[in-house]
Amino acid sequence: MPDMPDFIDIADVADATIELEACGPSLRPRWIARAGRKPATRARNPFLQWETMPDVRIHAWRVRDVVLDATTMLLLHGGKIIRQSNYLRSPDELAQTRIDPDRLVQVQSGAPVLICGDAWSTNHYHFFNHTLPAIDNAMARHGSDGIRLAAHWMRPVHAHALHLLGHVPRDTVQLEPGRQYAIADAEFCAFTVGIADFANSRSIQFMHDRLAATVPDDGRHDGRLYVSRLADRHRRAGGEADLIAGLRRRGFTIATPADMTLEDQIKAFRGARLVVGPHGAGMANIAFCRPGTAVYDLMPEHFIDSSILNLAIRADARAWVDAFPSDTTTTDHMRDWRLDVRAVLARVDEIDGRWRWFKKGLLS
């Protein structure tokens, strides 16, 4: 076991602590299917008793004389790791993180520098639920000229999201993996480390609603959408091509969000009455869905994660989750898996039928 470095709490060294949001009491999902009518499969919904985390408080802190490690996105003060910046780092990574003068870049800035992303900020889910809320909130408080961003390379679709929200960042500190950055005046926001991933953050949903409002709305709510992972290189779902064929026969539109403009993503998800997809970043777009949309999240039992379900709760959607048996009991978000195509199609038919009853007001 490697020796652990010293940690320090950010509140102990911050010049100022700002509470950005109190997320309030817990909420339970509104289910669109019934556990008692499962298709002939061992698939199960692992979240029947799940609820959002209650009373989560989200803060930003103003801190002086810190060093940011751009590879791990760990923040150090006085040689100690700021505990709140530790997001999913392994013990080995923590033990090896030290200030290295040979890799250190001095950041000169006349404005506070916002640490606005995690190490996976190019991921669509991470950007829209960690990075963008941090930037949006900081820009609202400081103005575009009152804050400077410290960020990794930003995908064009993500830079466009900033533009649609009306944000034009001043000169950005472009982070390079392998480098460390000495920052005299920094702001660190808890949004960037996923503090709200399992809480009912109204501010994040309001941000998504504002973003959706920038795209003309045709008022439709009748589409059926499948979010494909066929092009992904990890956590691929065996049988997905056969599932897509079955969904096409049912009139589904097949979407690959990475190939779509942000406007088209917003339109597709906002116009859908039913969204189906393997658990992954593309499903983050359900934040743009209308209230009452049905969301069906498919996942392997070796990667049980409620983040997409939480987005459905925020968007006031009705949801269902099926987790399919794995050949491992080890949590692994990269491992491929196999879904039960017949069972998924049966569940889709059940959900679609129940959605029609909800629409007619015959089910509550």
In the CATH hierarchy, which top-level class contains the domain 223-359? alpha beta
Neighbours of 79 (CB within 10 A): 11
d(CA 141, CA 181): 24
Do 270 and 217 touch, CB atoms closer than 8 A?
Answer: yes
Enumerate residue ranges in the chain where pLDDT < 50: 1
Q: What is the model's pTM?
A: 0.93
d(CA 278, CA 105): 41
d(CA 187, CA 166): 21
Length reported for the chain:
364
pLDDT of residue 145: 87
Span between the terminal Cα atoms of the chain, in Å: 53
State the burial class of residue 234 (Cβ atoms within 10 Å of its Cβ: 0-12, 13-18, 19+). exposed
pLDDT of residue 329: 66
Do 271 and 221 touch, CB atoms closer than 8 A?
Answer: yes
**What are the domain boundaries of the chain?**
7-20+57-195, 223-359
pLDDT of residue 358: 72
